């Protein structure tokens, strides 16, 4: 009996599924790791799912994604602020502009904004460090 937990399960708009495993590049040649990934790929393929192995990426992008992951849980952010940020009418806005709209609550606003970036409500350029100057674009 084998067991394996992948890192991501991505659902396409067309209903397709892609399972993603993330491994450091230097681990891919390790026989035990290569065997586990090959076995997992066969299991996913038998279900009609795509399987991808990701290794290595831009360190800034990786740091941003890890940071945003801390804001993934809805219960950890103020729901009223989340709704207020979603309700903002402009298609593009800076994180600092949103924070400035609620003086004294900038930290809570930032948490709500980062939660919405994690959820995909807003898009941000994750190839540069996130900051108050980061511009957000409402996702379609």
- φ and ψ of 122, to 5 deg: -120, 150
Mention every residue, 6+ apart, whose C-beta is less than 8 A from residue 87: none
- Same domain? For 37 and 106 the reply is no
> Quick check: is 3 in a domain?
no
Among the candidates 18, 38, 54, a domain finishes at 54
- Same domain? For 44 and 69 the reply is no
Asked whether the whole model's pTM tops 0.85, one would answer: no
- Same domain? For 100 and 78 the reply is yes
Q: Could you tell me the residue range of the domain that residue 104 belongs to?
A: 59-138
End-to-end CA distance of the chain: 43
- Same domain? For 71 and 47 the reply is no
> Quick check: is 16 in a domain?
yes
- Same domain? For 50 and 115 the reply is no
- Same domain? For 76 and 46 the reply is no
Tell me the mean pLDDT per 10 residues along the chain, length 140: 86 94 93 94 96 90 94 94 87 93 93 96 96 93
pLDDT at 6: 86
pLDDT at 1: 82
> Quick check: is 36 in a domain?
yes
Q: How many structural domains comprise the chain?
A: 2
- Same domain? For 30 and 76 the reply is no
Beta strands in the chain (DSSP E): 8-11, 17-22, 50-54, 92-94, 122-124, 135-138
- Same domain? For 41 and 108 the reply is no
CA 48 to chain centre: 24
Q: Are 68 and 117 in contact (CB under 8 A)?
A: yes
């Amino acid at each position: 009996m084998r067991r394996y937990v992948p890192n991501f399960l991505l659902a396409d708009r067309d209903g397709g599924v892609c399972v993603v495993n993330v491994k450091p590049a230097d681990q891919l040649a390790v026989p035990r790791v290569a065997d586990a990934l090959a076995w997992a790929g066969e299991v996913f393929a038998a279900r009609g799912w795509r399987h991808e192995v990701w290794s290595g990426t831009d360190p800034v992008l990786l740091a941003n994604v890890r940071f945003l992951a801390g804001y993934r849980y809805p219960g950890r952010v103020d729901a009223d602020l989340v709704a207020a940020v979603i309700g903002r009418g402009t298609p593009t806005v800076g994180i600092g502009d949103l924070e400035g709209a609620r003086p004294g609550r900038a930290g809570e606003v930032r948490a709500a904004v980062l939660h919405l970036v994690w959820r995909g409500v807003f898009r941000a350029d994750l190839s540069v460090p996130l900051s108050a100057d980061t511009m957000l674009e409402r996702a379609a």
